[in-house]
Structure 1
Amino acid sequence: MAKNYTRDLIRKEFIKLLNKKPLHNITVTELAKQCNIERKTFYYHYENLTQLIKEIFDEELEKVIEEFNETLSWEEGFILAAKFILDNKKAIKHMYESDYKIDLEKYVFSISGEIMNKYVSLMAENTDAQEIDIKLIAYFYQCALSSSLIQWVATDMRTDPKLIIQRIGELMDGNILLSLKRSEKLEKFTQNFEIG
């Protein structure tokens, strides 16, 4: 129990620091002091800041997987998935401007994939769409959404992403189902094909 408490405290204080200053200015010593723990306590739980950052992204992804349910639209699911980013804009900006940019991009790509794979699979249940097409449609939207979110981070997050996502949803309404229906009429795809 104490181990989980300490790990939670370290993660929470790290995010607080990251919301205040760039990542390259944060040291394990400073983080330990912020948590009122010794440096060796930090190293008992984490090998380094890289492992801490990876765990933060992994846990946030787990939350997205747990919280997504069949009543959500992909737009609502994506906004829910982006909550961590929206709640920690400065921390995310600092990560984006650091050596951890690639980890942030992987996280965004993963949350986009979780949402779109679940949503497209759910929509496909009432169709005879080919499995490859279900994957292709989900992958297409995963790429589009993750690229949009990363571009939003890169341009200082000035616009409200909720409004943009909702607008995209309105513009694209029905296209996923329409694409799945088109798949039913296409010739069977017989080639080996890897996505991503």
Structure 2
Amino acid sequence: MSQNYTKDLIRKEFINLLNKKPIHSVTVTELAKKCQIERKTFYYHYENLTELVKEIFEEELAVVIEEFNETLSWEDSFILAAKFILDNKKAIKHMYESDYKADVEKYVFSIAGEIMNKYVSLVAKETKAKDIDIKLIAYFYQCALSSSLIQWVASGMKTDPVALTNRIGKLMDGNILLSLKRSEDLKDFTQNLNIE
């Protein structure tokens, strides 16, 4: 088996197991058996399950970055970016309710950041908004979106996130452009903001 094929198989079977049971119930032995590989093959690719979880989130974030489409609204971009979460609700719930809660939160914050940074930068091309304000507006929406998604995960993922995201989009329609245009008339902001 090629190295990429084996790693892809391990990731896929791990997510399948997490969609069925809590992460603390998943063992390397069980995972190796599902993949029809030896335990030592798992350890050849990963030091432990923690490294596997981190790689899954890194790979999924890379997909979000690669698939960003400038023709989509931020709502559609965010829904597309959250596809991994929506397709694997139980796995995400199991990770969130475990020692991997911080990894889930970091992933959600990162995908929200990718979407909002790119979207706000795109909208800003229509304005003469200051760079600091572009970053500040993107960061504000990154925090709002990621908090909403984390709260949705924490509350059991009962509401329809697509409908909720689209409704937020309708309520906030035009606010990003309006905020960027307001930036044109504001004095320069000399404070160093640590928002990256």
Q: How would you bin the TM-score normalised by the shorter chain?
A: over 0.9
User: What stretches of structure 1 move > 6 A for 4+ residues in a row?
Assistant: none
2:57: which partner in 1? 57
1:194 CA displacement: 1.6
2:130: which partner in 1? 130
2:14: which partner in 1? 14
Distance 2:140 2:161 in 1: 19
Q: Does 1:147 align with 2:147?
A: yes
1:191 CA displacement: 2.1
RMSD, aligned α-carbons = 0.8
3-state DSSP of counterpart to 1:189: coil
Distance 1:166 1:192 in 2: 34
Distance 2:15 2:190 in 1: 48
Counterpart code for 2:117: N
1:170 CA displacement: 0.2
1:121 CA displacement: 0.2
3-state DSSP of counterpart to 1:102: helix
Distance 1:17 1:8 in 2: 14
1:163-194 per-position Cα deviation (integer Å, ceiling 9, x unaligned): 00000000000000000000000011122222
The count of aligned residue pairs is 196
Distance 2:169 2:141 in 1: 11
1:172: which partner in 2? 172
3-state DSSP of counterpart to 1:20: coil
Counterpart code for 1:64: V
Distance 1:75 1:9 in 2: 31
3-state DSSP of counterpart to 1:192: coil
TM-score where L is the length of structure 2 = 0.98
Distance 1:148 1:157 in 2: 11
The percent identity for this pair of structures is: 80
Counterpart code for 2:177: L
Uncovered stretches (5+) of structure 2, i.e. residues with no partner: none
Distance 1:126 1:36 in 2: 54
1:11 CA displacement: 0.3
Q: How does 1:108-127 map to 2 (within 5 A)?
A: 108-127=108-127
1:129-176 per-position Cα deviation (integer Å, ceiling 9, x unaligned): 010000000000000000000000011100100000000000000000
Distance 1:191 1:82 in 2: 33
Q: Does 1:38 align with 2:32?
A: no
Counterpart code for 2:50: T
Q: Does 1:68 align with 2:84?
A: no
1:49 CA displacement: 0.4
Uncovered stretches (5+) of structure 1, i.e. residues with no partner: none
1:10 CA displacement: 0.2
1:92-111 per-position Cα deviation (integer Å, ceiling 9, x unaligned): 00000000000000000000
Distance 1:191 1:35 in 2: 53
Distance 1:17 1:193 in 2: 42
Distance 1:115 1:13 in 2: 28
3-state DSSP of counterpart to 1:157: coil
